[in-house]
Amino acid sequence: MVSYTDAVTHKCGCWRITVNRRKFCQSTLAVATVAALFPAHRALAAALMEIPGDIDAITAAGQQATLRQASVQELADSLRGPLLLPGNQAYEMARQVLNPAIDKRPALIVQPSGVADVSSAVHFARENNLVVAVKCGGHSTSGKSTCNGGMMIDLSRFRHVRVDPAEKLAYVSGGSLLGLMDHECMAHGLVTVAGTVSHTGVGGLTTGGGFGRLARRFGLALDNVRALDVVSADGRLRHASKVENPDLYWGVRGAGGNFGVVTSFEFNLHAMDRQVIAGNLFYPMSRLRDLLAFYAEFSMNAPDELATDLVAGYPSSGKDGFVLLALCYSGPATDADKIMAPVKSLGKPMLGEIKSVDYVALQRSGDNTAPRSTASYLKGGFPSEISPQLIDTLVEGMEPHPDRSVQIIFQQAGGAISRVPAAATAFAHRYAQHDMIATVSWKPDAPAAEHVRYIKRYWSALQPFTHGFYTNEADEDNARMVNKNYQGNYSRLLGIKRRYDPGNIFRLNANIRPTA
């Protein structure tokens, strides 16, 4: 089990002076003293401040409630990390998620410094009947990591990766981002499976699935989890592995945050060369139909070491539509030419080339350099195949528009992902060869309705070609299909949910309702 002591000691070097913390924090003078003596710890000092009064909240049942000042004070005093309340600048920062179309206001935000804080926060939420939103990378496009009137547990101070190269293991704390994990592991010539954008959270990505450039080779991110630590709804920390709490270990790998807050993941690592053969090749939109047909065949015949994604879209100018083939081959470089030969037969792209690149740099290459600059909405599902009929529907529905950007994304699956039996983890969609996403983005201050309507309309034509959806991409429209989407794993998941979160405080996910 990983310990967070190092990180906490660093942050809270002033811990000794807060021994009699309850009394100390009654005094605003004490707060000012901490802030003055330890400027780096101003955020901590903020947490020591007196809670000014009662706080309005919304219960899990959707009713208005009041959190009494004394009980919130008690929570604040029990924490080592900050408790953030409305009206505070740090609160305004922390409540944000990547998608600015999501604008929610939790009643209170806890930024745990370690497991003990997570546990205190969960206790408080349960006792006060609050919904808990767990935020790791904040990438849930539908805003599953925030809420109105409940408690947000923001894991952004909970980022740490320790690699054990001899055992080929990485201990990754629950708020870590993918880039940190890639960076630390590759320093030892080791990798595990991560998504394609380095600021996505390990927490959300892994608990729902985890597709990425290496997934066809090594399985989903969740297939690489050897053990995890979870704070469940009773506030208890549980270690889960094949031999300890095996039901929890099984369920967390695919049913997201339904059972609690994952405070630590233990990942299996694999030796891999730092250099991979990769390329982002751009072609004009006029080639969409023939590139989709090419992709359908090429991706199905790819070896496990090759990940090919296809993205087609129009930027918000409504002009210069493009088709992007994103390739990453992590096998022996000597085989790369032969494997990429069909791509070369497509002719010279408008932009891009296939070459040897640093894997960690490639993993960062798609990062958002201006986070929260566009609002977005998406729909996704697993297509049964990329058939000629699906291609026709995709091409016909792709509409340029001056005020929005639209994209169709195929992320390749299959390979090692499909060789895991559907009942081996809670993730049931092992048959999928691709994940298909239709997404739209627009300026955050512009009205959303027209753009959301467009993608819903487009998706209503595409959905019949899909068979199930990726829980990490689910939104409120998917709610009534969630149980079915867990397929043969649902009834076992229901039992685990009833055991670890009978009151359903962890419901902001592809939710298994314990009362079903």
> Which residues of the shown chain bind ligand FAD in the complex (CB under 6 A)?
97-98, 134-141, 144-145, 155, 174, 195-197, 200-201, 203-205, 207-212, 256-257, 261-262, 472, 508-509
Q: Which residues contact 145 (CB under 8 A, 6 or more apart)?
A: 97, 133, 134, 135, 136, 138, 152, 204, 508
- CB-CB contact of 329 with 356 (8 Å): no
Q: How far is the CB of 336 from ligand FAD (least distance, A)?
A: 22
Nearer to ligand FAD, 156 or 489 (CB): 156
Q: How far is the CB of 133 from ligand FAD (least distance, A)?
A: 6
Q: How far is the CB of 497 from ligand FAD (least distance, A)?
A: 14
Nearer to ligand FAD, 144 or 451 (CB): 144
**459 closest CA partner among 376, 378, 375:** 378
- CB-CB contact of 266 with 228 (8 Å): yes
Q: How far is the CB of 217 from ligand FAD (least distance, A)?
A: 15
The H-assigned helical ranges of 95-232 are: 115-127, 178-186, 202-208, 215-218
Nearer to ligand FAD, 145 or 268 (CB): 145
DSSP-derived letter for residue 279 is: E
CA distance 184 to 276: 18
Q: How far is the CB of 427 from ligand FAD (least distance, A)?
A: 11
Q: Which residues contact 379 (CB under 8 A, 6 or more apart)?
A: 437, 438, 439, 455, 456, 458, 459, 462, 463, 473, 475, 477
Bridge partner list, 232: 260
Q: How far is the CB of 441 from ligand FAD (least distance, A)?
A: 11
Nearer to ligand FAD, 106 or 201 (CB): 201
Nearer to ligand FAD, 257 or 321 (CB): 257
Nearer to ligand FAD, 202 or 462 (CB): 202
- CB-CB contact of 312 with 293 (8 Å): no
Nearer to ligand FAD, 257 or 349 (CB): 257
Classify residue 196 by burial, with Cβ atoms within 10 Å: 0-12, 13-18, 19+. Answer: buried
Nearer to ligand FAD, 97 or 186 (CB): 97
CA distance 510 to 145: 12
Nearer to ligand FAD, 192 or 207 (CB): 207
Q: How far is the CB of 208 from ligand FAD (least distance, A)?
A: 6
Q: How far is the CB of 144 from ligand FAD (least distance, A)?
A: 4
Count of CA atoms in the C-beta half-sphere (13 A) of 244: 11
Q: How far is the CB of 444 from ligand FAD (least distance, A)?
A: 15
- CB-CB contact of 513 with 490 (8 Å): no
Helix (H, G, I), strand (E, B) or coil at 133: strand
